[in-house]
Amino acid sequence: MSKNDHVLRLAVSSLFAFGALAVGESALADAPAMEQCAGVVKAGANDCATSTNACHSHVTSDSNPEAWVYLPKGTCERLAGAHLVKVADPTPAKK
């Protein structure tokens, strides 16, 4: 392989890497703002602990008023029986 081939391959791979980073960054920028919505969670589907359990996914009853999930901003207020909460959990649960 000549030196020119090596340089050309490096340049092309750099362009692909740069393009992938640009697409990934714009996808993160388009992510909707999230809010914590309580009162509508199915049993075992909560995103964080409540006063009666110590971990996410451990709530044992449907529509528990303390159990919450992250929803896109503005969704919670449109759900019957739902209410917004502000619990100190800095990162949304990964699914």
CA-nearest of 78, 72, 88, 65 to 31 is 72
Domain boundaries, the chain: 1-31, 32-88
pLDDT in tens, 10-39: 555 555 554 554 444 445 556 679 999 999
3-state secondary structure 54-74: CCCCCCCCCCCCCCEEEEECC
Residues in the chain: 95
pLDDT score, position 71: 93
pLDDT in tens, 41-84: 998 888 887 777 777 788 888 998 888 899 999 999 999 999 99
pLDDT score, position 51: 78
| pTM, to two decimals | 0.56
Beta pairing, strands 83-85 & 68-72: unpaired
> Which comes out higher in pLDDT, residue 53 or 7?
53
Tell me the C-alpha distance between 11 and 33, whole Å.
37
